[in-house]
Structure 1
C-alpha cells in the first residue's frame, strides 16, 4: 500500500506520530505531547511497553501504541518490529512521523519511507558513534545514515551536533535543521526556581548529605558513565587538591552499569565526595551547589546545564559536541578543552576561588536560559516546524523525496 494522504488544509486535524525506543525516553519530551494536543494535533505516541508510555494513555488527544523494540542489534526481532511499524503507520495514516533514539529512529524512518508518509523527521539528540571505534562505529554510522536518508528533515538539537553529523557524513547540510538555539525540550524554569525553597530547607538538605559548611560545592548531575568524563573530573580534582583549592563534590545520579574506578573508585572517594544515587526529582539538589561541572565527552544538548541555569548557578563544561553550545564562555560559565584534566582544573579553580564571579555568572545563566530555553519557547518552535512541513507538503514533493531514498550517496533535492 502506498501512502496517498493529501495536504492537510487549515482548520483540519493534523496527525503526528512520535516514536522512541523505550518508554523512559519520553522524559525527554515531558509536557510536549500535551502541548501539541492543545494546539490541535492528534498525537500518537509509540514506544516499547512500559509505565512511561502508559501514563499518557488517559490524556485527552493522545493515543499510545505499544511496540516492542530492543536497543541492541537483533536482526530477527528488528524485522518483526519493522513489520509492526509498517502496520501501525498504515493504520494511523499520519501527516508527520517524528522519531528519535537509535532503534525507533531507524525503524520508524524506514517504515515511514516505505509508506511514503509525507513528512518524516528524524530527531537527532546525540551521536553514540562519536565515542565508538572499529566495527561499532561503522554499524552506528550506517544506522544513522539510513534513518537520516529515510527522512525529509533531520532535526538536530544543537548547532555543534549538526556540524558533527555533517562532518561524519550522517546527512547533508541541506537536510539538517536546528531550531532557535537548540535543545529538544527546553526546561521548566519554575520547577528549578530558587524561590521554591526556604533557606532552612536547604540547610537541612546540606546537613543530611554531609556537605561541609563554607566549602564550595561542585555538582555533577546525570548518569555515571564513561562518556560523562568523571575520570577526567577525578584527575582534575587531584590537581585542585595539590594546589590547595578547597572544594567538595556532590554526585546526583546513578550508574549505567557496575561501579568503576572512573565513577566510584577510591581516588574519587578520597576527595570529599557525596553520592545521592538516582533521585526522581533533582531540582532541590542544584540549590546546594555552587557550580555544576559536566566534563562530558559528547552530548546532543545537555538538559542538565539548562537546569543549572534555571537554578541560578553557572556551569563548567567542555568543548565536546553539544556541551559547547550550552554555555556562553565567560558569561554563563566556563568551557574547558574536552578530555583535559589540566584544563578542567584550571577552569574550576577560576570559578571556585571567586564567589563574586560565581554569583554574576549564575545570574547571567538564568537570564540566558529564561530568554532562549523555556519550554514554551522550544515547544512553540517545534510545533511551528511540524505545522510548516504539513502546510508545505504536496504529492509532487513527496514523489521527489521518496525517489531519493537510497542506501547510496545522498544527493541534494530541489525544494529542500
Structure 2
C-alpha cells in the first residue's frame, strides 16, 4: 500500500488544518501516518483510522537537548515507517523533516509553509534564522521535492535567501480550505449588542495589543452597544504570547469577553456581526476564510496572508499594521452601518465560493501526492 507520513508541530493544528485532507487520503487508498505534539486531542486523530505518533515538539523553543530528542524521534519514525511520501507542515517540521528525508533517501517530499512563523515575522533577524536558512538550502537541494505556499509574498521572501533550486516545484494554494456546506452562509444576527469576533491565539503578533487599544478608543461611545469576543487560547510556548493576567485585566465580561479556545467556530462566527484580525503576518488565516464562508464583513491588516481574504471596501477593510487608530475607525464604520455589514457579508461568501472551497484544496493536495508517488 502507498504510504504517506504527515508531520505537524501540534495535534490541534493537524485537526483544524489537515485532518480533512488526511481523511480524504485514506479514502484515496493511502496508508496515512501522522506525528504531532500531543495536547490531549490525539484520540480525535486516531478515531479516523490514521496511525498517530505523539511527538514532543516545542514550536518555538531552542533547547539543544530537546531539539535533538525531537530530531531523533522523527528520524526513527521515518526510518521505521519508510513512507513513500512525507508531507511536512510549518517551519520546524519542514526544517527537521526535510533534512532527515534527504539523509535516509525518502523519495517524495511535500513541504507546506503555513506562514513563516515567529523567526521571520516583524523583520526579525537572528542566528536561528541564519541556521534555518542554511539547513533549508541543503535539504531542499534534491529531486522530487514540492512546496505549497499560501501566498506569493512568503515564497518571494524565502526565494530571496536562495533556498530553492530548479528541481523544486512550487504550488500556491490559498489556505487549508473551508467546507462550504458545513460553513454555510448565515444572515447577519439580530443581537441586542453588535458582536465583534477576534478568533486567534492570544499573541502580540496577532495584533492583540492593537485591538485592545482600539477597544479603548471606542469604549466611551459603544460600551452599551458592542461586545468584543476574544476566542482563543493562551500560547505560553510562543514568544509573542500574552499572559492570562493581561487578558483578565482587559476583559470585563460585558464590553470585552475572553472565552478561550472554542471548537464550535460555526456557531461563534454565525452569532457575530463583524470579524477582526489585526495580525502582523499570516499564511492564510483560517478564521478569516471561515468568516468569509459564513458571510461576515472583515477588518484586518494589509499584510501578507490577511489581504488575500479581503477586497478593500467590498467585503471588509484593510488597515495598516499596528495602526490601532485606523482599526478603531474602520470598526466604527461597520458598527454604525448595518446595510454595509449585510452587503459586505454577501461579498465575503461569494469570495469564499470562488477561492476557498475545501474540495478544490483537497483535490490539489491529492494530485501532488500522486505526482510525488509516480516519480518514486
Q: When the two structures are superposed, what TM-score results if normalisation uses the length of structure 1? A: 0.77
Select 1:235's aligned residue among 213, 219, 223.
Answer: 213
1:23 alignment counterpart: 11
Deviations 1:54-73 (A, max 9, x none): 4333544x333344333322
Shift in alpha-carbon separation, 1:269–1:48, aligned structure 2, 3 A = closer
Measure how far apart 1:108 and its partner are.
Answer: 1.5
2:343 aligned with 1:354: no
* Structure 1 gap segments, 5+ residues each: 1-12, 207-212, 395-416
Measure how far apart 1:88 and its partner are.
Answer: 2.5
Deviations 1:202-236 (A, max 9, x none): 77xx6xxxxxx1x4322111222211112212222
Matches within 5 A, 1:161-240: 161-167=154-160, 169=161, 171-172=163-164, 175=168, 177-180=170-173, 182-183=174-175, 185-193=176-184, 213=192, 215-240=193-218
* Structure 2 gap segments, 5+ residues each: 237-242
2:147 aligned with 1:157: no
**In 1: Cα distance, 2:257 partner to 2:213 partner:** 17
1:81 alignment counterpart: 70
Measure how far apart 1:271 and its partner are.
Answer: 8.5
**In 1: Cα distance, 2:276 partner to 2:317 partner:** 10
Q: Which runs of 4+ in 1 moved over 4 A?
A: 132-135, 173-176, 241-246, 268-271
Deviations 1:240-259 (A, max 9, x none): 45777964312222322423
Shift in alpha-carbon separation, 1:31–1:270, aligned structure 2, 3 A = closer
RMSD: 3.0
**In 2: Cα distance, 1:18 partner to 1:244 partner:** 46
Measure how far apart 1:78 and its partner are.
Answer: 2.7
- Which range moved further: 308-317 or 25-34? 25-34
1:126 alignment counterpart: 115
Alignment: residue pair count: 361
Measure how far apart 1:265 and its partner are.
Answer: 3.4
- Check conservation: 2:37, 2:56, Cα contact below 8 A: yes
Select 2:230's aligned residue among 251, 255, 263.
Answer: 251
Deviations 1:115-135 (A, max 9, x none): 121121222112222336767
Q: When the two structures are superposed, what TM-score results if normalisation uses the length of structure 2? A: 0.84
2:255 alignment counterpart: 272
Shift in alpha-carbon separation, 1:336–1:388, aligned structure 2, 3 A = same
**In 1: Cα distance, 2:329 partner to 2:283 partner:** 25
- Check conservation: 1:21, 1:69, Cα contact below 8 A: yes
- Check conservation: 1:160, 1:325, Cα contact below 8 A: no
2:314 aligned with 1:331: yes
- Check conservation: 1:129, 1:141, Cα contact below 8 A: no
Q: Tell which structure's C-alpha radius of gyration is larger.
A: 1
Q: Secondary structure at the match of 2:322?
A: coil
**In 2: Cα distance, 1:252 partner to 1:49 partner:** 21
- Check conservation: 2:10, 2:36, Cα contact below 8 A: yes
1:5 alignment counterpart: none
Shift in alpha-carbon separation, 1:279–1:122, aligned structure 2, 3 A = same
- Check conservation: 2:149, 2:155, Cα contact below 8 A: yes
Deviations 1:65-96 (A, max 9, x none): 34433332232333343333333223322221
Q: Secondary structure at the match of 1:328?
A: coil
Q: Secondary structure at the match of 1:377?
A: helix
- Check conservation: 1:164, 1:321, Cα contact below 8 A: no
**In 2: Cα distance, 1:34 partner to 1:388 partner:** 19
**In 2: Cα distance, 1:244 partner to 1:59 partner:** 46
